[in-house]
Amino acid sequence: MRFVLLVGAVGLVAATAVAQEADPIAAMVQRLELEKYKATLKGLTQFGDRRQGTDRNRAAIDWIDQQLKAFGCTNTERLKYEYQPPPRNPDTPATAAPPRPRDQAQGGGRFRGNRARTGVNTDPMAQPDVKLRELNSQPTTPGPREEVYCTKIGTTRPDEMYIVGAHMDGHGWGEAANDDGSGTALVMEVARVFSSPDVQTERSIRFVLWNNEETGLNGARAYVEQRQALQGKEDPPGSRRYPEPRWLGMIQHDMMMFDHGMPRADGTVSPEQRPEADVNVEFQVNSKMAAESQKLAWFFYQANEKYATDYPAAVGPHMTNTDSTPFMDIVPAISLRENERGTQVGAGWDPHWHQPTDRYDTFSDKDFRLGLNAAQTTLAALAQLTGARLTGGQTPQAPATDTVAPAIPGVVAAGTKVQVIKSGFEGTEGPIGMPDGSLIFTETQANRITRIDANGNTSTFLENTNGSNGLAFDAKGRLVSVQTVPGQTKIGVIYPKGSEATLADSFDGSPFGRPNDLVVDRKGGVYFTEPGPNPQQAAAGSSTTLPPAVYYVPPRGKAIKIADGIERPNGIMLSRDEKTLYVNNSNGEYLLAFDVKPDGTVGNRRNFAKYESGSKNAAGVFTSGADGLAIDSEGRLYVAASTGVQVFSPKGEHLGTIPLSRAPQNLAFAGPDKKTLYVVGRGSAFKIQMQAQGYQGRAK
């Protein structure tokens, strides 16, 4: 009995470890770094207290803007508004709210236990550091104000977004390190992870660094006034661009580091973070969206339970004095803090609040770690709410799974299974049908071509392929490939053995950089694409000087450049009659078509079909993810793109999309009757039983 229990326990541990490893959200949370968080926070404190209406505040906004861009959140924008402090007339008493009972805190909570004094330091001489006193000396003046934000654009729901905020202004003659450098650095660190090139979200996320919080939430109020009515409007119409996506929630971060417990009877506070410190997630029970906000708060609580490394979360109903307040009657709104704002911060639990001691050096790693745990909480919750996932094979990902095709008349029957053949390949490109009905494709990184037979068994077809990527057969039955090993890039014959030959390796004296895909015409001429260096290749100092282009290699001739000015040409295909050439543009909105002239060159470039969707990547570049191309016996075109296999009629109308659990890279019809569509991507291979039949006049 005891033995059985032990085995059970071990099995459970192993299963948990595997689940953790395969969880992309855990992988994203792990990318949040304490040292990067601290570096951003330290960077903010170079501008002193960043008080609104000063040069140091404006310089801090410029710095935040540059940092966001450096983190990959490149589409920064500014909200502009005018700030005039409310006039003070000593003759008329302020129309203040009726006084609260002594034990009642702002936001609705009840004070208990010891309280220490709070307030804003306004005495410059209370700052003993002469340099910091000097840095903070310029007084605030009324007038125009700005605040900066950047947006992660969703792939499938770019019209909906969560707003994630913190305020960047402070006061009190310190460095506003905790209030609210801690929240600002948190939002920027979360923005950094979401802006990684391999992170995709279905919905959008806006990262906002509010100004004028300390004067009464004026920056957040200005945002609501100016932008509430713009929600969900596509501009220009048909562009799939939404300057103000519809708000799904507002999540504010303010004072994220210091939870040292209740003041002692003498008003002093422990110098150490209490080990049971927590992240307080608050909603306002008296707001119009109280029920929805409460739900959001508990969602954050659960994200913390599952993903935060050290400190737990606590949920409370008394959200107050926060940039989420102007949103709380419109959308679900919550605020994350080191302590409850009303009953704890309001009772003097943080002795550095609005004081000269709110400086970077005041805090220890135990404090910074509370901020990091709040970042883990927010990132994990947002990743789930926005449908975040990791593309690319460099991080552990969940196993590929079967999906189901929708009905596309004449193409595929409703409910047809998109079946996983196998995962774990090292690169998946260049699929092409063989005369015997099997399929071969390239494992580019493994320098190999792999064969899949009708039963889904895999075997090695060819090794030492010189990094072959795209594949095609010529009329003589020779296998021609795009070969990508640096220094040996070329278009050449690699099979059968003994017939190896170079068809083209340069243009105008320059070697090709990393050609991608190809198609061979009946005469034996080869069309191929050169996408130009990708960001990684550019960073590594790509050898090519050749811009993105499409080339034609006539039989026994030299490469001719036949098209350029395409952002990123990728998959390439000829029509059945070979009078039209189709080219996928990975960074464009349209599948392109050209008329083929008798000499093989092309003209009459046109937008043939609009891809179903696309998004801006981390560098702010539009990407459709359009990669490989296939054609069927009716002239329909099949595009491997980030959303799945997009099917277009011979006239360019979008007929439907077959979803996959991996973003596909390339595809081909194969099988004895050419009615099986094979799709490869991100290390996995899939097959789909089609109604449509691949074009039989060419292997591809």
The smaller minimum CB distance to Zn ion, of residues 166 and 663, is found at: 166
323 binds Zn ion (CB under 5 A): no
179 binds Zn ion (CB under 5 A): yes
The smaller minimum CB distance to Zn ion, of residues 61 and 581, is found at: 61
350 binds Zn ion (CB under 5 A): no
Name the segment binding Zn ion (CB under 5 A); options: 176-184, 341-349, 498-506, 561-569: 176-184
The smaller minimum CB distance to Zn ion, of residues 175 and 254, is found at: 254
If one counts every other C-beta atom within 10 angstroms of the C-beta of residue 656, the result is: 17
Query: Could you tell me the smallest distance in angstroms from the CB atom of residue 177 to Zn ion?
Result: 12
Please provide the DSSP assignment of 83-142 as one string: E-PPP--TTS---PPPPPPTTBPGGG-B--S----------GGG---HHHHHHT-SPP--
The smaller minimum CB distance to Zn ion, of residues 258 and 473, is found at: 258
Name the segment binding Zn ion (CB under 5 A); options: 71-79, 139-147, 154-162, 177-185: 177-185
338 binds Zn ion (CB under 5 A): no
Distance CA 507, CA 113 (A): 80
3-state secondary structure of 210: strand
Beta pairing, strands 448-452 & 458-463: antiparallel
Residues 254-283 that bind Zn ion (CB under 5 A): 254
Of 345, 250, 249, 333, the C-alpha closest to 287 is 333
Residues 149-168 that bind Zn ion (CB under 5 A): none
Of 683, 618, 662, 677, the C-alpha closest to 71 is 618
Binding mask 558-597 for Zn ion (x = CB under 5 A): ----------------------------------------
The type of residue at 91 is: D
Query: Could you tell me the smallest distance in angstroms from the CB atom of residue 61 to Zn ion?
Result: 17
The smaller minimum CB distance to Zn ion, of residues 149 and 473, is found at: 149
Q: What would the 3-class secondary structure string for 575-619 be? A: CCCCCEEEEEECCCCEEEEEEECCCCCEEEEEEEEECCCCEECCC
Residues 591-650 that bind Zn ion (CB under 5 A): none
Query: Could you tell me the smallest distance in angstroms from the CB atom of residue 360 to Zn ion?
Result: 16
Query: Could you tell me the smallest distance in angstroms from the CB atom of residue 170 to Zn ion?
Result: 7
Query: Could you tell me the smallest distance in angstroms from the CB atom of residue 256 to Zn ion?
Result: 10
Size of the site for Zn ion (CB under 5 A): 3
Distance CA 235, CA 242 (A): 6
429 binds Zn ion (CB under 5 A): no
The smaller minimum CB distance to Zn ion, of residues 180 and 367, is found at: 180
Distance CA 266, CA 621 (A): 58
CA atoms within 13 A on the CB side of 494: 23
Phi, psi angles (nearest 5°) of residue 372: -65, -40
The smaller minimum CB distance to Zn ion, of residues 179 and 367, is found at: 179
Query: Could you tell me the smallest distance in angstroms from the CB atom of residue 66 to Zn ion?
Result: 23
Q: Where are the alpha helices (DSSP H) in 286-364?
A: 290-307
Angle at 551 between CA 546 and CA 555, to 5 degrees: 135
Name the segment binding Zn ion (CB under 5 A); options: 221-229, 249-257, 327-335, 430-438: 249-257
Are the beta carbons of 278 and 311 closer than 8 angstroms?
yes
Using the rule CB under 5 A, which residue among 147, 180, 443, 612 binds Zn ion? 180
Query: Could you tell me the smallest distance in angstroms from the CB atom of residue 215 to Zn ion?
Result: 12
Name the segment binding Zn ion (CB under 5 A); options: 129-137, 224-232, 247-255, 692-700: 247-255
Positions in the binding site for Zn ion (CB under 5 A): 179-180, 254
